[in-house]
Amino acid sequence: MTTKPKMTKRTIICCVIIALMLFFEPFYTKANEADRVFRVYTSSHGMIDNSAQTISCTTTGRIILTTLGHVNFFDGVTFTHIDPQPSNVYPLAKYTGYSHVYFDNNQHLWVKDTHRVTCVDLRKEEFIDDVQGVFNSYGIKNKVDDLFADETATVWVVLGDKLVNIHTKCTLKIKRYPLQDISRFENRLFLFYNNGDVDVYDINTKKILYTIHTLTAEAGKRYNATSVLCKTEQGIFQIRTGVNKSILLYLDVKKRSAKTILQTPYSLNSMVVHDNKLYIACVEGYWTYNLTTEETKHHAEITLDNGQRMVPDINALTFDKQGGMWLGSKHRGLLYCKPYASPIQQYGTNTDFFKRYESQMAKAIKTNTKNLPPTITCSFVDSRGWTWQGTYSGIRLMRPNAKTIEYGYKDGLANEVIRAVIEDNNHNIWVSTSYGIAHIDVKNNKVKHIEYFAGIDNVPDEAFTEGASLKLADGTIIFKSLDHMVTFHPDKFHTQAIKQIRLTPQMCKILMNGHEVHPGERFNDNVVTDVAISRTRDMYFNYDQNSITLMFVSLNYFRPFQTYYRVRVKGCEPYNEWTVLSTYNGRGLVDKKGALHLPLSGISPGHYEVELQASMSPEYWTEKPYVWHIYVKEPWWRTTIIYVLLGLTLCVLIVGNLMVYNKYIRMRVKWINVEAQVMKRLKTFVQRCKQHENSVLEPLNNNGGADDKGDVGEDMFEQMMLKIMPHLLIDHNEHLSLRRLAEKAEVDEVELSKMVMANSHKNPIHFLISLRLETSKKMLSESTMGIPEIAKMCGFVSVNYFIACFYHRYQCTPIAYRTEQRKNVLKTTRLS
């Protein structure tokens, strides 16, 4: 039989000590409430006002806060705001509570305050002028008295004594009034009334299932100013506020009962659940309520990053996607606490810690800076036998039988003046600089990347001492600056957790040819985007609007300068392949606030896809890339319609030319045939004339006088023949063209053809008479022969016939013609 060993007093003490050691071992996975240090954002940073009424984090990670009448947007780099106009305000006659904001599933943000509500179109990030028009679009024509949104982002409106779902038109009867708030659990809708009762409706049957009494009638009157709800998996928390007092209730949905969690003599303003805790904002800091242990704790004071302690008046609080905590104060603006507390601690010269290691640090300085040239600030040999030398332009790595490598700003060293170097137990390297501490991550005998820690990580804003570095037995590292000892344990850094933080890149600005683009703004009849820049996915530019700069943020509130971007722009150099950019290696494209400025200069018309990822480590790209589309339009003369019109015009011209050419060919062939016929007839006519060359011209009629004159066409033919006959007689054996003959006849080819075709078949006797009369005229002018002799030589049968023909043609006798010619010659001679 075995006996159970007894627990001695010494054993018990050892167990307690071990348990306490395990309990207090810090893992630094999340910031504890006591470790929270807040950064302050005020109107000096871009907020429109320092009084934050409500604060929310969108699904993408952007912070939206309302101030007195305004809506502010914050992306970690820039604050923007929109201002309501009187036309944007819709009266709510029956709402007497304080500020509330609701997001609906139609991308609207409803900002409700006492007796009023405004609606923001989140797609355009602007207030809607006609709120009643929004209600009308859902079929709500009556005046709305109050408005709520449940956890499914469905809007419910109060119309008299009815609560109406604007989408399904589900209508529930309000039995007790006024209605303070609503909440939804599956198909049940909880109606919270002013007197403390809660009616639970079945949405499908529209019937009351049961009623829960959360407060007595007297307590309901004390806490009836406003209500705030926060839903959890098991129930609903409700804050009810009265005059300078508040109560926090919890409604257990399964048990159908309510209990009081907290009562305060001041206002509780809002609440949110995070990491199994309920955080409650109040006028004196904030409260936490552990959902598991049901422990409440008041945090009246907070610590600012400058070391100041303060009691803030908190109107609202929320947590971002990274786990950072945001407080909206009444007068001090926006307060932000990082999700992870820095493991770096600093101790001043008057502290015991500083004095304890001062002598050891002096020895380390002497060792690390002994016999160094002026250009080397410190030297350290690590466990691998690698020598790390600090310089004024970075850190130099010298390995046996390998090339020397230098690391500087482009590799992640924000400050290149190296002061001290030390190796940790994981064989990574830590260096101190003139400003900040750097962690050199070494994996597989290669430097992977460099992380930098500065003022926001609790590093003092002062230069470190050359060679001043120590590593204690437990792995703790100590650096000495001018007035501090800075210590940390490398294992306490949340490197792996940081790598797992998901960042959401978001576009925040578009610059086109140097001008900032605003939604709906026209540039040369072109609208780049008609929605808010943060929601833009497609951008349209004219062909001459092709110098573009896109600005992106990563919504990295925790460590904005530790943002890495991976970008690719398909079809655009130099980003046609994946490129990793950061503050240090981004060639100035990533600023110190972590914003990416992506220039796309002189891009040609076409379609481009901008693919972008953001991460806190250059090695982890687990998120799917976000895509933006850029469309650069072709110039009007290169658009598809112009190409179609040009193509059609070209086709018409080709077809027309073919038709004209075909017609021309046919006409040409026809004309060649006509020309051949005309030339043949002319030659025939000439031959016929030659046959009568020696014949005596006799009158064709019986009276012995001149023959009747032919018609006008025949006379014109004779005149034409007189002009071309010499050429026909001379060149009858040569190739004569119709065009050449037309030029000699001083008529066009068509006219010549017509006259030839109409007269060439006629008797040539009239033409011979005209031809011989022309010869007689020349003889009368140039010779002294008598009339009978000339008549005989010209082939006229008698002198009388010659005189008759001459007179018939020239309206004068041959003697009169000769006399007139002689007078003209004598007159010309005298004038000469």
CA 97 from centroid of its chain's CA atoms? 41
Dist CA 442 CA 585 (whole Å): 19
Q: Please list the residues that pair with 328 across neighbouring strands.
A: 316, 334
What pTM was computed for the model?
Answer: 0.76
- Taking CA atoms, 720 is separated from 717, 727, 759, in Å, by 5, 12, 11
pLDDT at 706: 58
Q: Which residues contact 157 (CB under 8 A, 6 or more apart)?
A: 135, 140, 144, 145, 146, 147, 148, 163, 164, 166
Tell me, letter by letter, the H, E, C secondary structure of 35-77.
Answer: HCEEEEECHHHCCCCCCCCEEEECCCCCEEEECCCCEEEECCC
> Is 506-638's fold the same as 673-831's?
no
pLDDT at 6: 45
List, as own/partner pairs, every contact residues 411-414 make where C-beta atoms lie below 8 angstroms and the sequence separation is at least 24, other chains included.
411/447, 411/449, 411/450, 411/584, 411/585, 412/438, 412/449, 412/450, 412/451, 412/452, 412/582, 412/584, 412/585, 413/438, 413/450, 413/452, 413/584, 414/438, 414/452, 414/454, 414/561, 414/583, 414/584
CA 511 from centroid of its chain's CA atoms? 9
Residue 342 DSSP SS3: coil
User: Taking a C-beta distance cutoff of 8 angstroms, is the pair 595, 614 a contact?
Assistant: no
Dist CA 63 CA 334 (whole Å): 11
Dist CA 112 CA 118 (whole Å): 7
CA 183 from centroid of its chain's CA atoms? 39
33-337, CATH topology level: Methylamine Dehydrogenase; Chain H (2.130.10)
User: Taking a C-beta distance cutoff of 8 angstroms, is the pair 395, 523 a contact?
Assistant: no
**10 Å Cβ neighbour count for 28?**
17
Dist CA 639 CA 649 (whole Å): 15
User: Taking a C-beta distance cutoff of 8 angstroms, is the pair 133, 124 a contact?
Assistant: no
User: Taking a C-beta distance cutoff of 8 angstroms, is the pair 116, 110 a contact?
Assistant: no
**10 Å Cβ neighbour count for 582?**
21
User: Taking a C-beta distance cutoff of 8 angstroms, is the pair 385, 400 a contact?
Assistant: yes
Residue 348 dihedral angles phi and psi, to the nearest 5°: -75, 175
Dist CA 694 CA 773 (whole Å): 15
User: Taking a C-beta distance cutoff of 8 angstroms, is the pair 56, 323 a contact?
Assistant: no
pLDDT at 710: 52
Q: Encode 697-714: b = buried (16+ Cβ within 10 Å), e = exposed.
A: bebeeeeeebbeebeeeb
Q: What CATH number does domain 506-638 carry, 2.40.30.10, 3.30.1330.40, 1.20.58.340, 2.60.40.10? A: 2.60.40.10
From the list 220, 247, 217, 250, the residue with the least C-alpha distance to 233 is 250
Q: Please list the residues that pair with 230 across neighbouring strands.
A: 237
User: Taking a C-beta distance cutoff of 8 angstroms, is the pair 542, 307 a contact?
Assistant: no
- Taking CA atoms, 171 is separated from 133, 186, 247, in Å, by 21, 17, 31
**10 Å Cβ neighbour count for 811?**
9
CA angle at 274 for the pair 293 and 120, rounded to the nearest 5°: 145
CA 514 from centroid of its chain's CA atoms? 14
Dist CA 395 CA 377 (whole Å): 10
List, as own/partner pairs, every contact residues 638-647 make where C-beta atoms lie below 8 angstroms and the sequence separation is at least 24, other chains included.
638/543, 638/605
pLDDT at 27: 33
Dist CA 546 CA 630 (whole Å): 10
List, as own/partner pairs, every contact residues 356-363 make where C-beta atoms lie below 8 angstroms and the sequence separation is at least 24, other chains included.
357/470, 357/478, 357/485, 360/470, 361/465, 361/468, 361/470, 361/478, 361/480, 361/485
From the list 356, 506, 377, 505, the residue with the least C-alpha distance to 432 is 377
User: Taking a C-beta distance cutoff of 8 angstroms, is the pair 141, 133 a contact?
Assistant: no
Tell me, letter by letter, the H, E, C secondary structure of 740-791.
Answer: HHHHHHCCCHHHHHHHHHHHCCCCCHHHHHHHHHHHHHHHHHHCCCCHHHHH
The correct answer on CATH 2.130.10.10 for the domain covering 345-493 is: yes
Domain boundaries of the chain, sorted by first residue: 33-337, 345-493, 506-638, 673-831
pLDDT at 821: 86
Q: Which residues contact 563 (CB under 8 A, 6 or more apart)?
A: 503, 554, 556, 582, 583, 590, 594, 614, 615, 616
Residue 475 dihedral angles phi and psi, to the nearest 5°: 95, -5
- What is the assigned CATH class of domain 673-831? mainly alpha
Dist CA 768 CA 753 (whole Å): 21
User: Taking a C-beta distance cutoff of 8 angstroms, is the pair 424, 475 a contact?
Assistant: yes
**10 Å Cβ neighbour count for 750?**
12
Q: List, for the chain, all residue ranges whose pLDDT scores fall below the cut of 70.
A: 1-31, 700-714, 730-735, 832
DSSP E strands in 283-367: the ranges are 286-290, 296-299, 302-304, 309-310, 314-319, 325-329, 334-337, 345-348
Residue 369 DSSP SS3: coil
pLDDT at 201: 97
For helices 765-782 and 640-691, angle between their N-to-C axes, nearest 10 degrees: 70
DSSP 8-state code for residue 696? P
Q: From the CA atom positions of the chain, what is the Rg in Å?
A: 54
Dist CA 537 CA 382 (whole Å): 50
